[in-house]
Amino acid sequence: NAGVMQNPRHLVRRRGQEARLRCSPVKGHSHVYWYRQLPEEGLKFMVYLQKENIIDESGMPKERFSAEFPKEGPSILRIQQVVRGDSAAYFCASSPRQGDSMNTEAFFGQGTRLTVV
């Protein structure tokens, strides 16, 4: 059962360090989405990527946050110089290629819980 795999599941970083969150989409899926869930809140869209392209990053904070989805390998959400307010659960979702996605839902990973101390 090769669903969306996120790692690590839990990540602790000190203020000022970098956090790297990885997401391997369902095999064959070429679209990846990152969402952030702050404590006691719903999920908020951050960024949508296709292989080697950022399509929509309207939900990404302007500074310190970046995302990539290279031709080979997982998608990476990178947070530089983390602050306590970055503590949240970060979820990745994937969906099939163009044309197929109308008949399915986005598959979510189990999330990475980032704690900044």
Partner 1 sequence: AQKVTQAQTEISVVEKEDVTLDCVYETRDTTYYLFWYKQPPSGELVFLIRRNSFDEQNEISGRYSWNFQKSTSSFNFTITASQVVDSAVYFCALSEARGNTGFQKLVFGTGTRLLVSP
- Residue 67 in the binding site for partner 1 (CB under 8 A): no
Site string for partner 1, 26-65 (x = CB under 8 A): ----xx-x-x-----xxxxx--x-x----xx---------
Q: Which is nearer to partner 1, 50 or 81 (CB)?
A: 50
Distance CA 27, CA 20 (A): 21
Token digits for 38? 């702050």
Dump the DSSP string for 45-112.
Answer: EEEEEETTEEEE-TTS-SSSEEEE--SSS-EEEEE-S--GGG-EEEEEEEE-STTTGGGS-PEE---E
Q: Which is nearer to partner 1, 36 or 81 (CB)?
A: 36
- Residue 5 in the binding site for partner 1 (CB under 8 A): no
Beta strand 5-7 with 53-56 is unpaired
Size of the site for partner 1 (CB under 8 A): 32
- Residue 97 in the binding site for partner 1 (CB under 8 A): yes
- Residue 22 in the binding site for partner 1 (CB under 8 A): no
Binding residues for partner 1, rule: CB under 8 A, are 30-31, 33, 35, 41-45, 48, 50, 55-56, 89, 91, 93, 95-102, 105-111, 113
